Amino acid sequence: MILAARRLAAALSFMALALFILLPFFQVVQLSITSTLGTDEAQLGSFTLMNYRNIFASPALTASLINSVTYVTLNVALTLLVALPAAYAFSRHAFRGRRAFFITLLAFRVTPPVVLSLPVFILFSQLNLINTPVGIALVHCVFNVPIAIWILESFISAVPRQYDEAATLDGYSTVGFFMKYLIPVIAPGIGVAAFFCFVFSWVEVVFARTLTVTDGKPITMAISNLFGFQTDVGLVMAMTVFSLLPGLAMIYFVRNHIAKGFVVRS
Amino acid sequence: MPATRLWLLLLPAILTMVLVGVIPLFIVFEYSFYDIFTLDSRVWVGGHWYVDLLTSARFYESFLRSLTFSLVVLGLQFPLGICIALMIPREGPFRTSTLILLALPLVVPWNMIPIIWLSLVDIDTGMIGIALNRMNLTFDYKFNAIHTWALIVAMDTWHWIGLVAILAYSGLASISPSHYQAASIDQASRWQVFRWIQFPAMRNVLLMALLLRFMDSLMIYTEAFGINAGGPAAATAFLTLDLGEEMRGFDYGPAAARSMIYFVMTLFVVWVFLRSSAAQRRHD
């Protein structure tokens, strides 16, 4: 009896949670298939796929999709490349300045982008990194490298040290050891780190907006630019649906490992 | 391992962080002492901007507002997130689907979040707006400060509850089943299991979650601005609002001084968190 009541309570709370989280998504999808301005083809408020067709009719919108995917992919690759060796060093060595380095990383991770956006813009103007995906991919390292080091370090620390020593005895160089030994054992960790870097880069707005003045606009800015005197809410929501797809795909890929990334050693 | 190899491993990360973090910080530091008309013509003003900012009532008001906001959302999201984590089963398909559900809001671009929530409470086309209207309730997020706050708090909770729950759950997942068996042999109560087994396993990740959520809510910008641009009558004018305004107005000097002060605040918060986690570890 008590068990049944408890199960019912658990089921009800889960449904409440699901409703709370999913309701905004239902709203987005619903508006994206509604004619919100009204045309000859589709009356105001009627069902239509016109909004999705309009995305592909606009070169600015399709270009923005490509821009976003480009800088996010570049950022994930760059972040993993620099974070993996650092995470290994962090995991295996107690070196001087370790704590100071850790505090600095953490501080940059939580520094709001708006605080750094002005100097980054000035610096990147001089380096010719404005209006290009490379600039955004680089600047997003400021919060992604720390988070990647943190996640990868906890995965590497779960691998026994004897494992490294065995590889060294086999005569592997550092690069060979990383490629042949370390990366395969911590593959789930790399997946989780890639997931979080992808997500944080994909959702970031302030840097992405500041660094694209005339060209290379990300999807988030393309959506903001749709707002005007008479906003086509349906088109905005159709674009929003597209802006969610890569994130959803990433969640699906790491679904079984998502919670393991943060089991820090106590 | 020789020291050279250690530093070679760290070097790529250090160079990257210097380029995108340390150098920009030095640039802001320098700019904060100048009145800048264009980037080529500027006048040294010393600590003028700092004195200006630290003696303005507006700064402290927005600081208090942001602090209140942080306390409200943390007070809501942490108990709720921990409860959700405790309810997730330890294995099976239900576990995976709950985690996927929780991760969904995290992948929404930040400027889309206020747009989505405004469309939800829209009186003509929004699901919540229409429902409230049918019940004859007026929801006026534009001119009623309490309603604006409620909307921003609900939105922020929707956005971040998943992160708190996933992190708390990752702590719980590290508990070995033998601990639970030992507890049940000892006939430990539900509360005792939480207090002596589950909570200690979550403590470290929760501390990290607390740091991330505290800083993000204290410095909330894109999402809150998108709802009502700080209104009504500055009721939701949080810390970052003035910084954003100064940059939009090309007021580089004051913006740089403000950035430095916010960065020092960030450093201070990180330092406090690390100290308390170190103290906790010594205590164990």
Give, for A90, the enclosing helix (H) or strand (E): helix A59-92
* Residues of chain A contacting residue B110, judged by C-beta atoms under 8 Å apart: 203-205, 220
Give, for A47, the enclosing helix (H) or strand (E): none
Burial class (CB in 10 A: 0-12, 13-18, 19+), B125: middle
Give, for A95, the enclosing helix (H) or strand (E): none
Cβ under 8 Å to A: B residues 101-120? 101-112, 115-117, 119-120
Exposure letters B236-260 (e unless 16+ CB within 10 A, then b) = bbbbbbbbbebbeeebbbbbbbbbb
Q: Which residue of B5, B21, B102 is in closest CB contact with A142?
A: B21
* Residues of chain A contacting residue B15, judged by C-beta atoms under 8 Å apart: 82
Q: Do B101 and A108 touch (CB under 8 A)?
A: no
The model's pLDDT over B99-140, given as tens digits with 9 standing for 90+, comes to 889 999 999 999 899 999 999 998 888 899 999 989 988 888
Is B84 in CB contact (< 8 Å) with chain A?
yes
Cβ under 8 Å to B: A residues 11-30? 13-14, 17-18, 20-28, 30
* Residues of chain A contacting residue B118, judged by C-beta atoms under 8 Å apart: none
pTM of the model: 0.91
User: pLDDT below 70 — which residues of chain B?
Assistant: 1, 39, 284
The C-alpha atoms of residue A237 and residue A48 are separated, in whole angstroms, by 13
Is B19 in CB contact (< 8 Å) with chain A?
yes
Q: Which domains does chain B have, with CATH numbers?
A: 57-283 (1.10.3720.10)
- Alpha carbon of A190: minimum distance to chain B alpha carbons (Å): 16
Q: Do B27 and A123 touch (CB under 8 A)?
A: yes
Type of residue at B80: L
Q: Which residue is closest to A138 within chain B, CA to CA? A: B20
Q: Do A106 and B270 touch (CB under 8 A)?
A: yes
Q: Identify whether B232 is preceded by a cis peptide bond (ω within 30 of 0).
A: yes
Residue B45 CB partners (closer than 8 Å, separation 6+): B33, B34, B35, B253
- Alpha carbon of B145: minimum distance to chain A alpha carbons (Å): 22
The model's pLDDT over B11-20, given as tens digits with 9 standing for 90+, comes to 999 999 999 9
The whole-number pLDDT of residue A266 equals: 33
**For helices B93-103 and B145-172, what crossing angle results, to 10°?**
140
Is B271 in CB contact (< 8 Å) with chain A?
yes
Q: Do A110 and B216 touch (CB under 8 A)?
A: yes
Tell me the average confidence (pLDDT) per consecutive run of 10 residues in chain A, 266 residues long: 82 91 94 81 76 85 89 96 93 83 88 88 90 93 94 87 79 79 87 90 90 85 82 88 89 78 48
Is A203 in CB contact (< 8 Å) with chain B?
yes
- Alpha carbon of B110: minimum distance to chain A alpha carbons (Å): 5
> What is the DSSP annotation of A188-253?
HHHHHHHHHHHHHHHH--HHHHHT-SSS---HHHHHHTT-SSS--HHHHHHHHHHHHHHHHHHHHH
The whole-number pLDDT of residue B46 equals: 85
Q: Which residue of B6, B216, B271 is in closest CB contact with A103?
A: B271
- Give CA torsion, residues B154, B156, B158, B161, to 10 deg: -120
**For helices A233-253 and B112-120, what crossing angle results, to 10°?**
120
Q: Do B39 and A122 touch (CB under 8 A)?
A: yes
- Alpha carbon of A1: minimum distance to chain B alpha carbons (Å): 18
For Cα atoms A137, A118, B25, give the angle at the middle one, nearest 5 degrees. Answer: 85
Q: Do B17 and A108 touch (CB under 8 A)?
A: yes
| Sign of the torsion angle spanned by Cα atoms B261, B263, B267, B270 | positive
The whole-number pLDDT of residue A264 equals: 45
**For helices B57-87 and A2-32, what crossing angle results, to 10°?**
130
Q: Do B6 and A93 touch (CB under 8 A)?
A: yes
Q: Do B108 and A89 touch (CB under 8 A)?
A: no
- The CATH homologous superfamily for domain A59-218+246-262 is MetI-like (1.10.3720.10)
C-alpha A13, offset from chain centre: 29
Residue A147 neighbours by CB distance under 10 Å: 20
Tokens standing for residue B14: 């250090």
Note whether A149 and A88 are within 8 A (CB): no
The C-alpha atoms of residue B267 and residue B254 are separated, in whole angstroms, by 20
Is A36 in CB contact (< 8 Å) with chain B?
yes
Q: Do B13 and A139 touch (CB under 8 A)?
A: no
The C-alpha atoms of residue A62 and residue A222 are separated, in whole angstroms, by 9
> What residues are paired with A47 via a beta bridge?
A34
Note whether A6 and B143 are within 8 A (CB): no
- Alpha carbon of A72: minimum distance to chain B alpha carbons (Å): 13
The C-alpha atoms of residue B174 and residue A85 are separated, in whole angstroms, by 25
The whole-number pLDDT of residue B232 equals: 87
Is A119 in CB contact (< 8 Å) with chain B?
yes
- Alpha carbon of B206: minimum distance to chain A alpha carbons (Å): 10
* Residues of chain A contacting residue B256, judged by C-beta atoms under 8 Å apart: 118-119
